[in-house]
């Protein structure tokens, strides 16, 4: 069973702070890693993807991947109340099926 | 493009009734996923189609669930008979398998169908 684990939270941070969201995965052969944001009552939408070790930055968002330790993280700088949502980590594993497996998500609350 | 379209948005039905959920993927996408989301289990893959062919249905909970994709622009997920434990949000997602290299397979989600079985 290929597992993707996330702390359910909620993670509460003050406006302007850095929010750090973490995800671990069990399949060492995993290839691609995605962060989706899901607002309450809405569908998931892609924020970032990463497939190489290291950091990938896009605006206020930075994805970090460490394949040796099997974790991927998402940093949100200058957090805003509008960032309050559930963040889902998704992993495409080895085996050729290319089906994204999702974690249960971490709830983020950014308070003014 | 209007994105992935699901219907109905909400469905309330009585236990034992048949429920049919519908999905229209994004035009040109060749892969379609049905997911179920609950607080307890998160987002679970039910079934995956590629070029209208079911590739992996290992996530379908039991024989009460069935899914079809008769053509590239339409898919259904049917539950017969429905049970209260089937209550969840059901998402359909589509993607192009192989776009920008297979490593970057972004799934585009519909707005979901919230199913309540009473």
DSSP E strand boundaries for B14-73: 19-24, 31-38, 42-50, 53-56, 65-71
Distance CA A36, CA A24 (A): 15
Query: Is B77 a residue whose pLDDT tops 90?
Result: yes
pLDDT exceeds cutoff 80 at B100: no
What would the pLDDT profile of A75-112 be if each residue is shown by its tens digit? 999 999 999 999 999 998 766 667 888 999 999 999 99
Confidence category of residue A31, pLDDT binned at 50, 70, 90? confident
Residue in A with minimal Cα distance to B34: A99
* CA dist., res. B77 & res. B19, Å (int): 8
pLDDT at B104: 61
Sign of CA dihedral B62, B38, A77, B109: positive
- B85 three-state secondary structure: helix
- Please report which confidence band the pLDDT of residue B49 belongs to, taking 50, 70 and 90 as the band edges: very high
- Interface check for A39 against chain B (CB to CB < 8 A): the answer is no
Of B42, B48, B105, the CB nearest to A105: B42
If you measure CA to CA, which chain A residue comes closest to B37?
A104
Which of B40-49, B65-74, B93-102, B103-112 is least confident?
B93-102
């Amino acid at each position: 069973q290929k597992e993707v684990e996330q702390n359910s939270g909620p993670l509460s941070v003050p406006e302007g702070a850095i929010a750090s969201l973490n995800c671990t995965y069990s399949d060492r052969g995993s290839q691609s890693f995605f962060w989706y944001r899901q607002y309450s009552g809405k569908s998931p939408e892609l924020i970032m993807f990463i497939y190489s070790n290291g950091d990938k930055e896009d605006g206020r968002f930075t994805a970090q991947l460490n394949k040796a330790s099997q974790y991927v993280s998402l940093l949100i700088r200058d957090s805003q109340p509008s960032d309050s949502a559930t963040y889902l980590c998704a992993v495409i594993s080895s085996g050729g099926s290319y089906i994204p497996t999702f974690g249960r998500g971490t709830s983020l609350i950014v308070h003014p | 493009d209007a994105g992935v379209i699901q219907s109905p948005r909400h469905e309330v039905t009585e236990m034992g009734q048949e429920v049919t959920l519908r999905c229209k993927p994004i035009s040109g996408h060749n892969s379609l996923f049905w997911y179920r989301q609950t607080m307890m289990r998160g987002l679970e893959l039910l079934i995956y189609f590629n070029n209208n062919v079911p590739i992996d249905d290992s996530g379908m909970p039991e024989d009460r669930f069935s899914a079809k994709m008769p053509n590239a622009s339409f898919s259904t997920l049917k539950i017969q008979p429905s049970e209260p434990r089937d209550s969840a949000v059901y998402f359909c997602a589509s993607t192009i398998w192989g776009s920008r290299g297979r490593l970057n397979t972004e799934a585009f989600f519909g707005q979901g169908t919230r199913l309540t079985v009473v």
